[in-house]
Amino acid sequence: MVSKEEILEGLAKAVVEGDEVKSEELAKKSLEMGIDPYEALMQGCNKGMAKVSDLYECKEMFVPEILLSADAMYAAIDILKPHLKIDASAKKPAKIVIGVAQGDIHDIGKNLVKMMLEVAGFILIDVGKDVPVDTFVKKAEEEDADLVTISALMTTSMMYMEPVIKKLKEKNHKAKVVVGGAPINSDFAKKIGAAGYGKDAVEAVKVAKSLTGA
């Protein structure tokens, strides 16, 4: 008979290894054994993904493996989710609008950041790529977003970040803006008045957490 710890550890390991079949199997098993699905989520999936994020930070893992890990994690989540008890007293997760700046159609980085933020428990509203300034602002208003995250790969698209920040400020909207992407650095972020900058997906999560108090 396997223990609860072994199941949870196995689930975390399956996520790290990107083994979708295994993670799905272990998620089912955890339900059969009566393990609290919330615990399975936190001690299995999230723990695994936290490890993935550490490994990514020191470049031991790279984009293809992370995507496999994400698949493994989502497979488990799909099974656990219907069984989660909704906790009315729990704090509502923060909402984040995410997209690629105007003129730019490169969105692999944005997708990666989106996934990591989702894993970290945020609610993501993806506005896609080549997104006009006003769309970011409108979406932030409609969704009552806490954060707006904008990415750009091309230096020419960087200039469409500052107007989003300005317009949100003009409207006194609470959403803070976080920017990222290959050509961007923290000095640029500071200069345009962004609330934060993440050099990669892992850092983006840290920044988002600190800005939303999550």
Partner 1 sequence: MIKVTISNMNKELEIDKINYSLLDILNEGGIEIESICGSKGKCGKCKVIVKNPESVNEITLEEKKSLSEEEIKKGFRLSCLVNLNNNTIIEIPDSSLQKQLRILCEGRSNKILIDPIIKSELIKVKKPLLGNEKSIVDLINEINKEIISVDYPTLKELSNKIEYGLDIKVVRYGNEIIGISEIEKNIYGAAIDIGTTTVVIYLFDLEKGKLVDIESVLNPQVRYGEDVVSRITFSMKNGVEVTNKVIVDEINLMINRLCNRNNISNKSIYEITVVGNTAMHHIFLNINPKTLSFSPFTPILSKSINLKSRELGININPSGNIHVLPIVSGFVGADTIGVLIATEMYKNPEISLAVDIGTNGELVLGNKDKMVSCSCAAGPALEGGHLKFGMRASTGAIESLYIEEDTFNTFYKTINNGKPKGICGSGIIDIVSEMLRVGLLDPSGKIRAHHNERIRKDPLNGQKEFVIEWGDNTEIKKDIVITASDIREIQLAKGAIMTGINILLEKSNITIAQIENLYLAGAFGNFIDIKNAIRIGLLPNIPLDKIISVGNAAGEGAKISLLSRERRMEEDLINKKIGYIELAAEKNFNGEFVMSLNFPKFD
- Where do contacts with partner 1 occur on this chain (CB under 8 A)? 57-65, 67, 102-108, 111, 130, 153-157, 182-183, 185-188, 190
Give the up-direction half-sphere exposure of residue 193: CA atoms within 13 A in the CB hemisphere.
11
For residue 21, give the nearest of 11, 33, 8 by alpha carbon: 11
Contact (Cβ atoms closer than 8 angstroms) between residue 31 and residue 37: yes
Tokens of 82: 């219907």
Nearer to partner 1, 138 or 199 (CB): 199
Q: How far is the CB of 133 from partner 1 (least distance, A)?
A: 13
Q: How far is the CB of 94 from partner 1 (least distance, A)?
A: 25
Q: How far is the CB of 113 from partner 1 (least distance, A)?
A: 14
Nearer to partner 1, 54 or 142 (CB): 54
Determine the angle formed by the axes of helices 47-57 and 201-212, rounding to 10 degrees: 120
Nearer to partner 1, 57 or 142 (CB): 57
Q: How far is the CB of 195 from partner 1 (least distance, A)?
A: 15
For residue 76, give the nearest of 22, 127, 131 by alpha carbon: 22
Nearer to partner 1, 41 or 153 (CB): 153
State the Cα–Cα distance between residues 182 and 128, nearest whole angstrom: 18
DSSP string, 12-71: HHHHHHT-HHHHHHHHHHHHHTT--HHHHIIIIIIHHHHHHHHHHHTTSS-HHHHHHHHH
Q: How far is the CB of 93 from partner 1 (least distance, A)?
A: 26
Nearer to partner 1, 23 or 157 (CB): 157
